[in-house]
Amino acid sequence: MRNFSSLIDGLVFMPSRNGKLRLLADFFATAPDPDRGWALAALTETLVFHEAKPAAIRQLVATRTDPELFALSYDYVGDLAETVALIWPERPERANSLPPSLTEVVEALRAAKRGQVMGLVEGWLDTLDSSGRFALLKLITGSLRVGVSARLAKTALAEWGRVDLGDLEECWHGLTPPYAELFGWLEGRSDRPAAGQGAGFRPLMLSHPLEEEDMAALSPADYSAEWKWDGIRVQLAARGGERRIYSRTGDDVSGAFPDIVDHMNFDAVLDGELLVARGEGEIAPFNDLQQRLNRKTVTAAMLKEFPAWVRLYDILFDGEEDLRNLPFTGRRARLERWYDALRPRRMDLSPLVPFDGWGALKALREGSRENSIEGLMLKRRDSAYVAGRPKGPWFKWKRGALTLDTVLMYAQRGHGKRSSYYSDFTFGVWRGEELVPVGKAYFGFTDAELVELDRWVRNRTTRRYGPVREVEPGLVLEVAFDSVHPSNRHKSGLAMRFPRVHRIRWDKPAAEADRLETLQAMVVG
Amino acid sequence: MEPGGFHVDPLRPVERAVVTHGHSDHARPGHAHVLATAGTLAIMRQRLGEGAGAATQALNYGEAIRIGDVTVRLAPAGHVLGSAQVVLEHAGTRVVVSGDYKRRFDRTCAPFEPVPCDVFITEATFGLPVFRHPPDLGEIDKLLHSLSIFPERSHVVGAYALGKCQRVISLLRAAGYDRPIYLHGALEPICTLYEGFGVALGELRPATVAAKEELKGALVLAPPGAVADRWARRLTDPVVAMASGWMRVRQRARQRGVELPLVISDHADWDELTQTLEEVAAPEVWVTHGREEALVHHATRRGIRARALALVGFEEEGA
């Protein structure tokens, strides 16, 4: 358990993605089998056992500590697992007994009946140190929350084992914990494990932003165009009776979208955009979709109020047949034929957008102010479906951003490399005589500009709230954003999509910044 | 504090002060007469200059003097160099003011000595059972392990200038780390003072003038306030560590932007606070400085008359 708990400790405090990758690689390189495999399973949430409820943990700790001292401690620490890990009274007579390995813990939990779990946990708490107890309690309550997605864990494995992440994703679904085969391959001791037969994730094909200078070199006849929908990219995988919905990074989000899973009564792997749609395909604003995201489960009320919809644009497998080597036009024909034959509910096809030359396409893009459209996608007609982000076959061409002159109101310190800089900026616009916050941005400026902004904030601070400084209303930030929607989470009643600092208007007086009415007029739908 | 006519660690200038140790929340400037150990007086002179006291008097550990009707003795507190408990005897009653103390072995100062007494006035900085400091060398191993994983990043450790800084250096040396250690300018004078008292710290270099290249993979010590602020920008992608008993609580460490928390404290943890109550066997205990409520509760359950003594103006220096 020692190696696993120091990994968890390191990850909890590590702010940077690269740092996390290094900690994971160090762990995979040094932890023995099968400990490292079980740790990987814990990180990717593929472990299955009877989880312990927080109430059972509270009950257990009550048998071993003074209730008043526990209450004072819990009040101070704030997190149950951490309080219990720290306060657990160590028994001197157990000090010399060997703490369990992660493997012993996982194997015992997998074999245990529900009623036996807390007895096991009590014995382990007595032999572990406080880091070990914390890791154990996080493990048995079913969520580590150490800022590592399944995708990041796989990225660390691929980098450490010097294999292609796409190759790893291809075989991932066929693997089971503790992943002996996988580590054998990554350490060069055996061949790549066979690709999974089930509904595994197939790495997505991604696009590059289209730059104006690219266009001269491209021939319009080589490309098809589609609308770029303002939802989230998903892969629907239904194979051999198994149904999964994956996010673009390969995280399994099926549990959050039963209203789609219910209608996946086919055998295929499809690529498309997840949206919220009422009736037959009337797309709701992104804000509605947001209500359905980042949830493990979903209530009946949400299913009714924010019903999910998938707009399909590619097909990777039709039954057993791998279509990824077909050109785009070939796959598109297969997708249309497949859709016509099955007509799955809560899904439709993303239509092709016919166009005659770049000029005409540009006009179409500018005209597309519709709620659910972010711009256009260009897909090379002869391109195969390739994992990753090859330059050339797919381009995204977002419509022009909206901009607004806002006033800097608050600044907060960043994390990691930016921890000494005020780099997260809350900005507002005028409503009558007062400023109301309308958004927050933490990128869009250069390192040199950040130094200037940081200095400005430090010199113009009017109040401090912990890591946050309120500044005098004196700096205009021209903010760019993709769209703006009504929102009851902000005082201004509006929320921007993808706000970023477009220009710092050192020259412009704050009084001349925009007014809330201007932003309200930009709301669509 | 009648009837001796003197005060222990007074917050405002007084005629006669007895000072337990040199941290700024205990050693205040402007007293007319100051009684303390030679170590504490040297620290006060360095930090307060003229303000260290119009007249000063050094007292060795164990040596007794009379002030008015009270016999005063200083006993080692194990907190920082020169730190002392104040042992007061008057009319057959012995009162011990612990000041800040710790029970762990520390090469940089004399070890705490439990003094049986009638009334024990104890600190309670870490007076909650969640505070149980792990072994020091395990924490130092964490730091050395991080240096091996991130050999190109400098490691900056936030440590209070008086006590913690020298203790961390001394622990690193004990763990076999013999490369130069770089110091923020604010830490240098006290290190020099410790060395003058015979505490060997190995090779120390100023971080402020060191070349950026030289600091790659190096260990740098700085005051807690500097590690995540502008001063630290001279370092290359630093790993921010902090040596403090507060680092035991993750959320507290995260709030401070610490990537590598090191639970190294100059105060007694919960087990040591409660163990010390047993050892001094005082029937009456006053609890100050920290989370009094839990320790009062504990003492009461052990049959000790205990109460919280609220003091204002004390900060967390040296935790």
Which pair of tokens denotes residue A303?
């299913």
Same domain for B122 and B211, yes or no, is no
Quote the CA–CA distance of B259 and B242 in Å, as a whole number: 8
Same domain, residue pair B243 and B141 = yes
Residue A319 domain flag: yes
Answer yes or no: is B271 within a domain: yes
CATH number at residue A475: 2.40.50.140
The answer to whether residue B112 is domain-embedded is yes
Q: What is the mean pLDDT of residues A17-45?
A: 93
Q: Which pLDDT value is given to residue A282?
A: 86
pLDDT digits (tens, 9 = 90+) for B201-245: 999 999 988 788 888 899 999 999 888 778 888 887 889 999 999
A356 φ, ψ to 5°?
-125, 85
With beta carbons less than 8 A apart as the criterion, state whether B127 and B294 touch.
Answer: yes
**pLDDT tens string A190-201:** 999 887 667 888
CA-to-CA distance for A428 and A491, rounded, in angstroms?
10
Based on the fold, state whether residues A302 and A226 are members of the same structural domain. yes
Residues B198 and B229 in one domain: yes
Judge: B250–A130 Cβ closer than 8 Å, yes or no. no
Structural domain of A431: 402-520
Q: What is the CATH number of the domain that holds B220?
A: 3.40.50
| Structural domain count, chain A | 3
pLDDT, position B170 = 97
Same domain, B219 and B277: no
Tell me the two tokens of residue B265.
């404290």
Identify the helix (H) or strand (E) that includes residue A28.
Answer: helix A17-30
In a domain, A189, yes or no: no
Residue A435: which residues within 8 A CB-CB, separation 6 or more? A407, A409, A428, A429, A473
Is the residue at B318 inside a domain?
no
Whether residue B317 is contained in a domain is answered as no
pLDDT digits (tens, 9 = 90+) for A434-447: 999 999 998 888 88
| B250·A13 Cβ contact <8 A | yes
Alpha-carbon dihedral sign for residues A414, A417, A419, A421: negative
B313 within a domain of the structure (yes/no): no
For the whole model, what pTM was predicted?
A: 0.76
Q: How far apart are CA A81 and CA A139, in angstroms?
A: 10
SS (H, E, C) chain B: CCCCCCEECCCCCCCEEECCCCCCCCCCCCCCEEEECHHHHHHHHHHHHHHHCCEEEECCCCCEEEECCEEEEEEECCCCCCCEEEEEEECCEEEEECCCCCCCCCCCCCCCCCCCCCEEEEEECCCCCCCCCCCHHHHHHHHHHHHHHCCCCCEEEECCCCCHHHHHHHHHHHCCCCCCEEECHHHHHHHHHHHHCCCCCCCEEECCCCCCHHHCCCEEEECCCCCCCHHHHHCCCCEEEEECHHHHCHHHHHHCCCCEEECCCCCCCHHHHHHHHHHHCCCEEEEEEECHHHHHHHHHHCCCEEEECCCCCCCCCCC
- How many domains does chain B contain in total? 2
Task: Examine the fold and report which residue of A80, A110, A140 is the final residue of a domain before the chain moves on.
Answer: A140
Same domain flag for A353 and A219: yes
User: Does A84 fall in a domain?
Assistant: yes
Residues A345 and A363 grouped into a single domain: yes
The residue behind tokens 């954003």 is A481
CB atoms within 10 A of CB A172: 22
Phi and psi dihedrals of A504, rounded to 5? -95, 120
| Residue A87 domain-assigned (yes or no) | yes
Q: How far does A172 lie from chain B, in Å, by closest CA?
A: 28
Percent of chain A with pLDDT over 90: 56
Q: Is residue A198 part of a domain?
A: no
Average pLDDT (A141-164) is 89
Chain centroid, CA A343 distance in Å? 30
Amino acid at A402: L
**How many other C-beta atoms are found inside a 10 Å radius of the C-beta of residue A252?**
18
Residues of chain A that touch chain B, judged by Cβ-Cβ distance less than 8 Å: 6, 12-15, 19, 22-23, 26, 65-66, 68-70, 72-73, 76-79, 82-83, 86-87, 89-90, 129-130, 413, 415-417, 419-420, 466-467
Residue of B nearest to A69 (CA): B294
Asked whether residue A203 is assigned to any structural domain, the reply reads: no
Closest by Cα among B213, B144, B218, B212 to B180: B218
| Pair B273, B249 in one domain | no
Residue-wise pLDDT for A265-281, tens only, equals 999 999 999 999 988 87
| pLDDT range class, residue B1, cuts 50, 70, 90 | very low
Interface of B with A in 140-199 (CB under 8 A): 142, 145, 149-150
B145 to chain A: which residues are within 8 Å by CB? Answer: 6
Rg (Cα) of chain A, in Å, rounded?
26
CA A216 to chain centre: 35
Domain end point (choices A81, A112, A140): A140
Range with the poorest average pLDDT among A194-203, A296-305, B51-60: A194-203
Whether residue A440 is found in the same domain as residue A508: yes
Subunit contact B248:A82, Cβ cutoff 8 A: no
Domain at B287, CATH number: 3.60.15.10
**Per-residue pLDDT for B318 more than 50?**
no
Residues of A in contact with B250 (CB under 8 A): 12-13, 79, 82
Would you say residue A108 lies in a domain? yes
**The pLDDT of residue B311 is above 60:** no
The residues that bridge with B204 in the sheet, in sequence order, are: B181
User: B287 and B233, same structural domain?
Assistant: no
Note the pLDDT tens digit of each residue in B138-183: 999 999 999 998 898 999 999 999 999 999 999 999 999 999 999 9
Q: What is the largest distance, in Å, between two alpha-carbon atoms of chain A?
A: 83
CATH number of the domain that residue A256 is part of = 3.30.470.30
Domain that holds residue B187: 136-262
* Whether residues A474 and A505 fall in one domain: yes
Amino acid at A325: N
Residue B275 lies in a domain: yes
List residues bridging with B58 in a β-sheet. Answer: B36
- A18 contacts in chain B (CB < 8 Å): none
Of A13, A82, A415, the CB nearest to B261: A13
- Chain A residue whose CA is closest to B139: A6
Do A385 and A434 reside in the same domain of the chain? no
Instruction: For residue A215, count other CB atoms closer than 10 A to its CB.
Output: 15
Question: In the sheet where A373-380 sits, what is the strand order?
Answer: A208-209, A394-398, A373-380, A223-229
| B residues 69..128 contacting A (CB < 8 A) | 128
Residue burial B75-110, b: 16+ Cβ < 10 Å; e: rest: bbbbbbbbbbbbbbbbeeebbbbbbbbbbbebebbb
CA-nearest of A382, A439, A423, A407 to A511 is A407
Same domain, A345 and A475: no
Within A410-487, residue ranges assigned H as helices are 447-459
Put simply, the answer to whether A19 touches B259 (Cβ < 8 Å) is yes
Instruction: Specify the DSSP class assigned to residue A252.
Output: B
Residue A2, classified by CB atoms within 10 Å of its CB into exposed (0-12), middle (13-18) or buried (19+), is: middle
What does residue A442 show for φ and ψ, rounded to 5 degrees?
A: -135, 20
Q: Assess whether the previous peptide bond of A178 is cis (omega < 30° from 0).
A: yes
Q: A219 by DSSP, 3-state: which?
A: coil
Burial class of residue A488 in the structure, from the number of CB atoms within 10 Å of its CB (0-12 exposed, 13-18 middle, 19+ buried): exposed
pLDDT given at position A369: 63
Shared-domain flag, residues A241 and A280: yes
Q: Does B319 fall in a domain? A: no
- B interface test, pick of A12, A27, A72 with most B CB neighbours within 10 Å: A72
* Minimum distance, in Å, between the CA of residue B61 and any CA atom of chain A: 34
In-domain check, residue A85: yes
Q: What's the CATH code of the domain at A87? A: 1.10.3260.10
Please determine, for residue B316, whether its predicted confidence score (pLDDT) is greater than 50.
no
Q: Which of A359, A383, A398 represents a domain boundary (last residue)?
A: A398
Both A380 and A505 in a single domain?
A: no
> Given a cut of 60, is residue B317 above it in pLDDT?
no
Any domain includes B93? yes
Q: Nearest chain B Cα to A134, which residue?
A: B250
pLDDT tens digits, A396-420: 988 878 889 999 999 998 876 777 8
